[in-house]
Amino acid sequence: MSKPSKSASAPGKISGETPTKAPPAAPADAISDSFAEPQGTGGETHQTAGGDVAVLTTAQGIPVADDQNMLKQGSRGPTLLEDLHFREKIFHFDHERIPERVVHARGYGAHGYFELTESLSDVTRADVLQRVGERVPAFVRFSTVAGSKGSADLARDVRGFAVKLYTQEGNWDIVGNNIPVFFIQDAIKFPDLIHAAKPEPDRDFPQAQTAHDNFWDFISLTPESMHMVMWIMSDRTIPRSLRTIEGFGVHTFRLVNAEGKSTFVKFHWKPKQGLQSVAWNEAVKINGADPDFHRRDLWDAINAGDFPEWELGVQLFDDDFADSFDFDVLDATKLIPEELVPVRIVGRLVLDRVVDNFFAETEQVAFMTHNVPPGVDFSNDPLLQGRNFSYLDTQLKRLGGPNFTHIPINAPKCPMAHFQQDGHMAMRNPVGRANYEPNSWGAAQGGPREDPVRGFTSFAEAADGPRQRVRSESFADHYSQARQFFTSQTPIEQKHIGDALVFELSKVERPDIRSRIVSHLLNIDETLAATVADGLGLALPKAAQAARPTIMDLPPSDALSIVRNGPDSFKGRKLGILLTDGADAAIFNALVKAVEKEAAVYEVIAPKISGVTLSDGTTVGAKQKIDGGPSVLYDAIAVVASKDGAALLAIDAAAKDFVTDAFTHCKFIALTAEAHLLFEKAGIADDMDDACLPLGAVKDAANFLAACRALRHWPRELGVDLDAQPAA
């Protein structure tokens, strides 16, 4: 196979292959002064080539003399069909869009590597899992499921966590989610699930939300989804960052070793950054303030050298365990508690490079569950089996032809040779005379041959039984693990699940659908059901008919809680510092130093984007003007204001929102004595608690950053939420 040549890429220069390095940023002195640009007869700007500046060409390479005006008959006359440059330019523009993914349309990707830290050679012959210390390139795409490509990042939704490992035995795609279970057990229900979740077909809303009748109607009639419902109503679906989510392969897969022995496996990605989520009220506001919150966060962190990292964990088990387990390991609505089968950490995934071009890489990447190397294999999970058909099929539609593996992001990075040829946009065709096998052209010209030893062989599982459309009885317990998830949460997390259910069901117009959901909750946890019924002002219905009674005493699992798996540092988090003219320079500088010591980051927010002049006369630039930098964009806030500055802030609605939102969202807050006025005028001065710390002296900065390690002061929430108040 011929390999496209690599060429260094400069802005606007087209090469045959996606460049591996971002083009160098233009030096500051190269930024043009638009006031000095040459103008044409109509006053339009004409920038011309010369020196280091390349000549603009058509896609055919023909140099372009004028890119501002169409070819006309006279300056005010009709446009001529002969204008080859205009026609080509518009033609290409007209065809820029490809269909968005039918699900997971909004996503964001990054490059990195996977490194093996513990060999799995005892259980698999997969080359990538043999030798400790070896690395393979990786590409990861995170996504939301229901929203369109242009929807907002903080939608309450499952996050896709799709990993492509470019191994020496071909691409291995682990197409997972940040939740270890799924809504449905059988792939035949996937179109129904997604239709119900997406905007309703007559009105095409709501966008990127499950809070509507169709979704909850379907769910209320699909009791197998109840475990997943607990997860999606938890804070897992409003993560603080893509860097703070777990990833799960969900299904039971197989690992197969050199002797052909199979071991069942579940895949886990555990974030070194710890788990963290935001509050719902905060998520709603982030979506308005910065719909790109998650992608910006990932882009900024990687570009700053703060590379997110996940550990690859495996839960390995055999047939005996599978037979003894309370649930069916082929049922994707069930997980295997880590307390029963510990997660063995065997590798690390590091994301260290942003994409050069979003479309070329993130949009065109094609993940497929059936991409597995020799030594990895499938189980009979009927959801997985259906997925194995769906992903290849959908790529053909989305990427327009069978040659999507020629796109650099999808091309394997190992030797490959086959006789597939032609088709739309074929970049690689077999060379030489033979394009079939068997053939008699000999080693030099005959092309590749099969390899029964190294090649992929499916695990020789025996299967028997009548052909039938049926759901296994072993899939019939719909509530026990839902209950186990709920009882494994801390009280604040349980409250959030109740709040989320009340919120979502309040958006459902039909009372009977609300009631049906509560009838399922009664089979999970009576208190939760009563709380939700109360929140909806609904009489408690009868419990839903259960195919299997709930196992009430499954032991709680700490691994299922976000709060219990948070980090113990503020590393990688962002402090928002609201500054005014005349603010204490020593305190500001101490804060900056403390932030850097904590390996965190900060942004300055000021009344004007030009920045402020501090008490010592130094000037500090602002990243955000106050109404463009609400506190929902930060993990903690500090208000460092002078007396006059605080007086100005105290009349500003955005400044008042800045502190009240931070307070409501249980964030750590630091303030100078002068800034107190803003908190008074915002109406929260009397409620301030232990997580509101004074910035009276330089040493207070470090104390404050140390306190921020707890991330949130959740007890405060009970004081600021109507639903948390005792009934009158």
Q: Does the bond joining 206 to the residue before it have cis omega, within 30 degrees of 0?
A: yes
Question: Which 105-134 positions form the footprint of ligand HEM (CB under 6 A)?
Answer: 107
Q: Is the CB of 424 or the CB of 449 nearer to ligand HEM?
A: 424
Bridge partners, residue 606, by sequence = 625
Q: Is 177 a catalytic residue?
A: yes
- 629 DSSP assignment: S
103 part of the interface to ligand HEM, by CB under 6 A: yes
160 part of the interface to ligand HEM, by CB under 6 A: yes
Q: Which of 85, 101, 268, 665 binds ligand HEM (CB under 6 A)?
A: 101
- Which residue, 128, 231, 106, 132, is CA-closest to 173? 128
Q: How far is the CB of 96 from ligand HEM (least distance, A)?
A: 18
Sign (positive or negative) of CA dihedral 160, 153, 283, 240? positive
Q: How far is the CB of 230 from ligand HEM (least distance, A)?
A: 16
Residue 606, both tokens: 């000021």
Q: Is the CB of 245 or the CB of 659 nearer to ligand HEM?
A: 245
Q: Is the CB of 102 or the CB of 476 nearer to ligand HEM?
A: 102
- Residue by residue, what is the 3-state secondary structure of 637-678? EEEECCHHHHHHHCCCHHHHHHHHHHHHCCCEEEECCCCHHH
Q: Which of 152, 229, 349, 383 binds ligand HEM (CB under 6 A)?
A: 383
Spatial separation of the C-alpha atoms in residues 10 and 25, rounded to whole Å: 10
Q: Is the CB of 363 or the CB of 504 nearer to ligand HEM?
A: 363
Contact 472, 182 (CB under 8 A): no
Residue nearest to ligand HEM (CB): 160
Q: Is the CB of 177 or the CB of 487 nearer to ligand HEM?
A: 177
Q: How far is the CB of 270 from ligand HEM (least distance, A)?
A: 17
Q: Is the CB of 149 or the CB of 709 nearer to ligand HEM?
A: 149
Segment interacting with ligand HEM (CB under 6 A) among 85-93, 169-177, 493-501, 532-540:
169-177
Alpha-carbon Rg for the chain, nearest whole angstrom, is 29
Q: Which of 89, 195, 370, 398 binds ligand HEM (CB under 6 A)?
A: 398
Q: Is the CB of 193 or the CB of 497 nearer to ligand HEM?
A: 193
The string of DSSP letters for 405-453 reads GGSTTTS-SS--------STT------SS--SSS-SSHHHHS-----TT
Residues near 350 by beta carbon (within 8 Å), at least 6 away in sequence: 112, 113, 115, 307, 308, 309
Give the burial string for 143-179 (b: 16+ CB within 10 Å, else e): bbbbbeeebbbbbbbbbbbbbbbbbebbbbbbbbbbb
Mapped onto helix, strand or coil, the DSSP state of residue 620 is strand
Residues near 131 by beta carbon (within 8 Å), at least 6 away in sequence: 116, 119
**x-marked contacts with ligand HEM along 423-462 as a string, rule CB under 6 A:** ----------------------------------------
**x-marked contacts with ligand HEM along 339-368 as a string, rule CB under 6 A:** --------------------------xxx-
Q: Is the CB of 245 or the CB of 505 nearer to ligand HEM?
A: 245
Q: Which of 168, 207, 287, 390 binds ligand HEM (CB under 6 A)?
A: 390
Q: How far is the CB of 362 from ligand HEM (least distance, A)?
A: 8
Q: How far is the CB of 413 from ligand HEM (least distance, A)?
A: 19
Contact 365, 109 (CB under 8 A): yes
Residues near 565 by beta carbon (within 8 Å), at least 6 away in sequence: 274, 275, 558, 559
Number of shown-chain residues binding ligand HEM (CB under 6 A): 27
Segment interacting with ligand HEM (CB under 6 A) among 278-286, 380-388, 437-445, 590-598:
380-388
Segment interacting with ligand HEM (CB under 6 A) among 34-42, 222-230, 382-390, 603-611:
382-390
Q: Is the CB of 187 or the CB of 695 nearer to ligand HEM?
A: 187
Spatial separation of the C-alpha atoms in residues 538 and 393, rounded to whole Å: 45
Q: How far is the CB of 688 from ligand HEM (least distance, A)?
A: 43
Q: Which of 85, 111, 177, 713 is catalytic?
A: 177
Q: Give the angle 591-593-596 at the CA atoms, nearest 5°.
A: 110
391 part of the interface to ligand HEM, by CB under 6 A: yes
**x-marked contacts with ligand HEM along 235-254 as a string, rule CB under 6 A:** ---------------x----
Segment interacting with ligand HEM (CB under 6 A) among 174-182, 406-414, 449-457, 514-522:
174-182
Q: Which of 85, 104, 227, 713 is catalytic?
A: 104
Q: Is the CB of 269 or the CB of 679 nearer to ligand HEM?
A: 269
- Which residue, 446, 402, 451, 449, is CA-closest to 428? 402
Q: Is 104 a catalytic residue?
A: yes
Which residue type is seen at 444? A
Contact 341, 384 (CB under 8 A): no
CA 301 from centroid of its chain's CA atoms: 14
Helix axes 491-506, 526-536, angle to 10 degrees: 40
Active-site residues, by number, are 104, 177
Query: Which residues in this chain contact ligand HEM in the complex, by CB under 6 A?
Result: 101-104, 107, 141, 143, 160, 162, 175-177, 182, 187, 190, 250, 332, 365-367, 383, 386-387, 390-391, 394, 398
